Amino acid sequence: MLLSRRLQPELLDVLPAHDPVAVRSRRDLKLLNLVMLHPRIMARQMLRHAGDRPRKIVELGAGDGSLMLRLARRLARQWPNVRPVLVDRQDIVRPATREALAELSWQSEPVAQDVFDYLDRADPADIVIANLFLHHFTPGQLTEIFRRSAELAPLFIALEPRRSALPLAGSRAIWLLGCNHVSRHDAVASVYAGFRGPELSDLWPGGQGWRLMEGNAGIWTHSFVAQKC
């Protein structure tokens, strides 16, 4: 059942940004990111694989910017004065989030745009990250995102749902955390659309010069890193 990916629309993607049910579901997402240890795993991957201090970090599908704020809290001491670019087709980064980032010396730039439009015209960056984002896309779309990201930055890091039995069981149990019906639907849909094995590496543009690392990170997560040699 979990051997092949199954993509289905997620409810949060079709709800108006300020619908109270969507606002509540984004709050659930923050909690789920913490339960999945994504701020910690992402910060570690960034520190491990970035060469020099990055100046510009692009997050694709950044939502309300809460993950970036958690990353800044972990990294701003070693990496001051970073410019995080928060790309999402919904315009939902709150001024308070930008202020909190600025207090850590990270001057953010929210970009309310579809990812493909953004990548068409993006300026170079040091790192591109994506958290719980890639599973929204078909293999053809992922190939396109990867092709353009590989031109944009020398390091790409993604954390996605792992498509296997334990994450599926976990996604069915998030009602225990008090998550609403949108989050409960989307969590299960995300696992069916998630990744396993070398599925993402297989879509990264061919050719020499990239080191690809893909596999489990923690209980729930599939991690993918592409680093330019």
**Residue ranges binding ligand SAM (CB under 6 A):** 13, 29, 33, 61-63, 67, 88-90, 114-115, 131-133, 136
Instruction: Report how far residue 176's alpha carbon sits from residue 179's, in angstroms, rounded to the nearest whole number.
Output: 7
Q: Which is nearer to ligand SAM, 131 or 149 (CB)?
A: 131
Amino acid at 136: H
In whole angstroms, the minimum distance from the beta carbon of 103 to ligand SAM comes to 21
In whole angstroms, the minimum distance from the beta carbon of 147 to ligand SAM comes to 16
Q: Which is nearer to ligand SAM, 72 or 132 (CB)?
A: 132
Instruction: Report how far residue 12's alpha carbon sits from residue 183's, in angstroms, rounded to the nearest whole number.
Output: 8
Closest CB to ligand SAM: residue number: 63
In whole angstroms, the minimum distance from the beta carbon of 51 to ligand SAM comes to 24
Instruction: Report how far residue 93's alpha carbon sits from residue 109's, in angstroms, rounded to the nearest whole number.
Output: 10
Q: Which is nearer to ligand SAM, 208 or 217 (CB)?
A: 217
Q: How far are the Cα atoms of 125, 175, 210 from residue 155, in angstroms, in the given order?
A: 9, 36, 9
Backbone torsions φ then ψ of 132, nearest 5 degrees: 50, 45
In whole angstroms, the minimum distance from the beta carbon of 207 to ligand SAM comes to 26
Q: Which is nearer to ligand SAM, 115 or 226 (CB)?
A: 115
In whole angstroms, the minimum distance from the beta carbon of 209 to ligand SAM comes to 27
CB 227 within 8 A of CB 192: no
Q: Which is nearer to ligand SAM, 88 or 126 (CB)?
A: 88
Q: Are strands 56-60 and 127-131 parallel, antiparallel or unpaired?
A: parallel
Question: Between the CA atoms of 32, 135, 90 and 155, what dihedral angle is there, to the nearest 10 degrees?
Answer: 90
